[in-house]
Amino acid sequence: MQKQEWKTRRPSLRRRYLNNYWQLYLMMLLPLAYFILFKYVPMFGNILAFRRFRPLTGPYGVRWEGFRYFEMFLKDEGFLRAFRNTLELSLLNLIINFPVPIIFAVLLNEVRNLRFKKLVQTVSYMPRFISTVVVISILTELLSPSSGALNRLLQSVFGTQPIYYMNEARYFRPLYILTDMWQYTGWSAIVYLAAITGINAEMFEAARIDGASRWQQIRFITLPTIMPTVMVMFILKVGNLLSLGFEKVLLMYTPANSVVSDIIDTYVYRMGFQSSANQYSYATAIGLFSGIVGLILVTGSNLLSRKVTGESIY
């Protein structure tokens, strides 16, 4: 009797909930449409990884090729180099740039002068809103061998010969990582600052009464409390390990530094759109492979996080 009564009550509860919060559901329609149209619908195009594509013959290819394209790129020296470059640059970027926003957020939280704190926050967030094209253009001008400020300074102080930094393979990775640090540190720190703000102030007060120093409060209260947030962000970062930002790398790419700057995204772009054969199926197979690797990395890091810290996304 109670079960039947609950079944009759459920539709009315749902209807009442919809009537009360219809504005929120309406706001959800646009992002939902975005994800369906630009994230889920394009996934059907992955069928080209197993079929041969010919222009003007339909979007899903002309015949099945099995795993032929996967075998092709796994034997291709160009792909193996791009895969190695992607992993090396991603791991370096993760090791260096993942802890920086955490450190920045913790240090910023310790600032007691509110006016100075707000100024630092504003200045650190602003680079995130500068276009990648503008960032690389500024970098190119600063490092120009003829008119760049850095080369002029080094030449006047140390008498060194001008260096074309943007064209040198050995400078590509440091420049990529440093510009990423400048552009995204303040923006990424917002999440950690929000987590720190949510810590109960009584915990810090009790620690101060017990004689804990600032460093001890950070070590034993702040960092352990925000660890769930840190682990979630880490899992998301690991999932995007093979996605370095196609636009930025392409803008920094030159034939001279291609030994280290040619990554999976630029390789796929060249194979799919710049090669004379327009190897769409070949490029799709590489993209699908990257997606599968990303899925494995997310799952693996999620399991590792759950086992080590007890925190995970799912």
Domains defined along the chain, listed by start: 83-308 (1.10.3720.10)
**pLDDT tens by residue, 216-269:** 999 999 999 999 899 889 988 888 888 877 889 999 998 899 999 999 988 888
Q: Is the dihedral of CA 177, 182, 187, 188 positive or negative?
A: positive
> Closest Cα partner for 186 from 138, 117, 91?
117
> What tokens were used for 185?
């540190």
Say what the pTM is: 0.84
Q: How far apart are the first and last CA of the chain?
A: 36
**pLDDT tens by residue, 119-178:** 999 999 999 999 999 999 999 999 998 888 999 999 888 888 888 999 999 999 999 999
